[in-house]
Structure 1
Amino acid sequence: MGKSGKRRAPLWARITVVAGVLLLVPSGGGLVAGQALLSRYENKVTDKSLLKDFETPAEAVPPKDLDANIDGAVNLLLVGIDPRDDETAPLADSIVVAHIPADRHSAYLFSMPRDLVVDIPAFKASGTGADTTKINAAMAYGSRLKNGEFSPAQGFQLLAKTVSNRTGIKKFDAGAIVNFGGFKKIVEAMGGVEMVIDMDVKSEHLKPDGSPRDRTPACQGHHNCSRPYTGVQKVYKKSDEPVRLKAWEALDYVRQRYGDGMTDYDRQRHQQQFIKAMAKQAMSRDVVTNPTKLLGVLEAAGDSLTFSGGEHSILDWATELQAVNIDDMVTVKLPGKGLYNGGYQGEQFYPEVDDFFEAVTEERVASFLLDHPEFVNLDG
């Protein structure tokens, strides 16, 4: 295992917003207690089918010894979804890749824009053909079951293949899906989160008291309007100092992408900043030394998280990543622009993003970012 001689706070990167809370808890003196709690919830959250048949191509990836350590650099795929029910196809609203070098001293997070236009391959399990469309549709395509219902775990497999094809990452070593509804319970159990608000943000969805905004008369009773809301809005004011957000505020803030001068790239940055803030909150003494609060966090995560660690358990991953320093986590921005052809079609990356993906596959991200500091997000 890649280890540091110095004990540092552990890291499990979350997609979209804290899927890895389960792997954040066991640090320092709390490792043994954390292992006991993680063991209790492992069967509840683990679904090994997330990474089933993912290797691309399968013959290019040597089989792993089930008792082998987690060696070398690892790549984790973290996805946030907001499914309404089993009869509605889930869309990948947040797609985050965490690249952790072999030395385990740092981690690099980058997001795939939900509207990124990509080639989605055909998928036998769902009976869907190949298509070129927005990447968030990959999970919806892949999730289709023969009985008319939908499986996010099956959809994750097609999304993973799609992300792999676009980035050149041959395989993901672990993956997680977080249901945004359940995520709110996680933040509530942690007592909220403190983070810097780096720009004025108006909520598209909520009023100042957290209640839903009114819908326009033309958008009542259906979901066919892209921006159906009207009336007073919750506002998150720019602040140079960390602001404590309640659970509903945190979830609302990291989902915003509309407003003056705001794009989906701002939303991606806010989600990545939030991951770091949540990691620090999870590692605070207020959480890890409080059995009641820690148990509440794990209960909430068990209701909202689906995890697959390949051949390795949650405990294996928690132990492996305990040397990663949260303060050394780097959030990466991938520059892009809108794609237009008779109207807005989605997003596309600038050509230099492919150079970054090559650096990821060749395990030289640190040197790439030294040469291209414009790819590094400022945390505010």
Structure 2
Amino acid sequence: MSRRLKRERRAVAGKRRAGGTPWHRRHRRLLVGVVGVLVLVLGTASGYAYYLNSQLDNVGRVDTQLKEKDRPDPDRGRALNILLLGSDKGKEEPGARDTTLAEDAAASRWPAGKYRSDTLMIAHITSDRRKVYLVSIPRDTFTDIHDQTGAVRSKQKINDAFSEYGPDGAISTVENLTNLRMRHLAIIDWDGFESLSSAVGGVPVFIPHAFYDPKQEVQWQAGQQTLEGKKALAYVRTRYGLVRGDFDRIARQQNFLRSLMKKMLARDTLSNPIKLTRTLTAVTKNLTVDADWDPSDMRALALSLRGVRSDDVTFLTAPVAGTELDPTYGDVVVLDQAKCAELFDALRNDRMDAYLRKYPDDRLADERQIG
């Protein structure tokens, strides 16, 4: 871990213990929250970037030689790959202090098993900043698990990397699987979707068939529905009762994000100060990013994405060859090595349009075809 990262994490923990948050920390959280919306939900840059600028004009700041709004995207001309993790907290050890993910990552020992990253996605932002591709990697993908040092520790389901070895283990595992550099990391707590879905007034989804989820004890009715709060969280978590299990869950998660993105871009959200503030608050409370993602770089990236619209965002899943029953780990997902090589090469060389011309059916289906 870099010295800079350790200093920043110690500073954050120190401010928490002191009970206060100075203006520059509030400033940073607002930046992180806004850019988290822009990158995680993808394509919302225009309205939120302007809102961000208007809000930052009202807070104190230290004089600098350069005005951030005039600075270019630091990665202009280069495509970006950002690792997105959807995280749930597992059971706390009896008597353990309730610590945040940032505090746990900064500690000398990562709490193995405390967190679960059942959702892994790569957000690919094209070099011209006109398109975004969001590629899901199935949680049960059977692959080499790398620890925080990059060493191979086992062959397991890919979600074990974050659970056992933390953010660095997840990054290392995904990078070795794909041979892609993850420029940044963003982790969102799935519980945050309760408040986020409520902040925008509910998220519309279509459920084609009625079914029962025995794990969550939820009966899903067929038809168009508007989900918020616990029902929205149950929707993205549902796995049991679906015909294709986790593959259908991935499609539902992508479908929810697609619908949420459209709702956040809707005029009644962008023009409603109360709804917009609630949305940003919901994000800031449930988002963690790598400490090296400088706020000025985040803002520059957000501004460079202001032309992106919902139709410029494409959702897809890493190609799968099938599933197998492993005697130790149970049902595992086996990726289609040849086709994945094509996909990862397209991401590496910023040629996703060519890949999807060859494999048009890899795009996320219409919502009426999703379980």
**Does the alignment reach a TM-score above 0.5?**
yes
Cα distance 1:359–1:13, how it changes in 2: closer, same or farther (>3 A)? farther
- 1:184 alignment partner AA: E
Three-state SS of the structure 1 residue aligned to 2:259 is helix
The 1:68–1:13 alpha-carbon spacing in structure 2 relative to 1, beyond 3 Å, is closer
Alignment partner for residue 347 of structure 1, among 333, 347, 370? 333
Contact 2:132 2:314 in 1 (8 A): yes
Residues 158 and 175 from structure 1, CA distance in 2 versus in 1: closer, same or farther, beyond 3 angstroms? same
Q: Matches of residues 70-85 of structure 1 in structure 2 within 5 Å?
A: 70-84=76-90, 85=92
Residue identity in the other structure for 1:278: L
Alignment equivalent of 1:310, drawn from 287, 293, 312: 293
| Cα 1:33–1:328 shift into 2, 3 Å | closer
**SS of 1:159 mapped into structure 2:** helix
Could you tell me which of 347, 351, 356 is aligned with 1:369?
356
Contact 1:203–1:253 under 8 Å retained in 2: no
* 8 Å CA contact retained: 1:122, 1:131: no
Q: Report whether the alignment pairs 1:165 with 2:176.
A: yes
Matched, 1:319 2:325: no
Question: Are residues 1:100 and 2:125 paired?
Answer: yes
1:335 matched to 2:340: no
- What secondary structure does 2:139 align onto? coil
The size of the alignment, in residue pairs, is 299
Deviation at 1:25, TM superposition (A): 5.5
Separation in structure 2 between the aligned mates of residue 367 and residue 175 of structure 1, nearest angstrom: 26
Aligned partner of residue 68 in structure 1, secondary structure: coil
The structural deviation recorded for 1:129 is 6.2
**Alignment pair present for 1:32 and 2:50:** yes
Match 1:378 to one of 348, 355, 365: 365
Task: Say whether 1:133 aligns with 2:143.
Answer: no
Mapping of 1:194-213 within 5 angstroms? 194-206=204-216, 213=217
What does 1:181-192 align with in structure 2 at a 5 Å threshold? 181-192=191-202
**How far apart in 2 are the matches of 1:203 and 1:265?**
15
Equivalent residue number for residue 259 of structure 1? 241
Summarize deviations over 1:124-168 as a string: whole Å, max 9, x none: 49xx861111111111222xxxxxxxxxxxx11210111111112
**Distance between the aligned counterparts of 2:135 and 2:36, measured in 1?**
11
* Counterpart for residue 268 of structure 1: 250
From 234, 242, 249, the equivalent of 2:219 is: 234
Letter in 1 for 2:182: F
2:18 is aligned to none
Per-residue Cα deviation, 1:252-279 (whole angstroms, up to 9, x for no partner): 1121122252321111111111111111
Whether 1:112 and 2:143 are equivalent positions in the alignment is no
Distance 1:202 1:37 in 2: 45
The DSSP-based 3-state class of the residue aligned with 1:140 is: helix
Alignment of 1:171-182 (within 5 A): 171-182=181-192
Given that 1:119 and 1:130 are in contact with CA atoms closer than 8 Å, whether structure 2 keeps it comes out as yes
Report the CA distance between 1:334 and its aligned residue: 2.8
SS at match of 1:92: strand
Cα distance in 2, alignment partners of residues 340 and 268 from structure 1: 20
Give the superposition deviation at 1:32. 3.0
* Paired amino acid for 1:138: A
- Conserved 8 A contact 1:72-1:101: yes
Greater CA deviation, 71-80 or 311-320?
311-320
Structure showing the higher helix proportion among its residues: 2
- Relative to the length of structure 2, the TM-score reads 0.72
- TM score, norm. by length of structure 1: 0.70
8 A Cα contact 1:38 1:315, kept in partner? no
Coordinate RMSD, CA, aligned: 3.0
Q: Distance in 1 between matches of 2:351 and 2:324?
A: 30
CA distance in 2, matches of 1:262, 1:12: 33
Gaps of 5+ in 2: 1-33, 60-70, 93-98, 100-110
Match for 1:365: what amino acid? M
Tell me the SS of whatever aligns to 2:264. Answer: helix
Equivalent-residue separation in structure 2 for 1:256 and 1:40 (angstroms): 42
Cα–Cα, structure 1 residues 167 and 129, in superposed 2: closer, same or farther, change >3 Å?
closer
Indicate the percent of aligned positions where both proteins have the same amino acid: 27
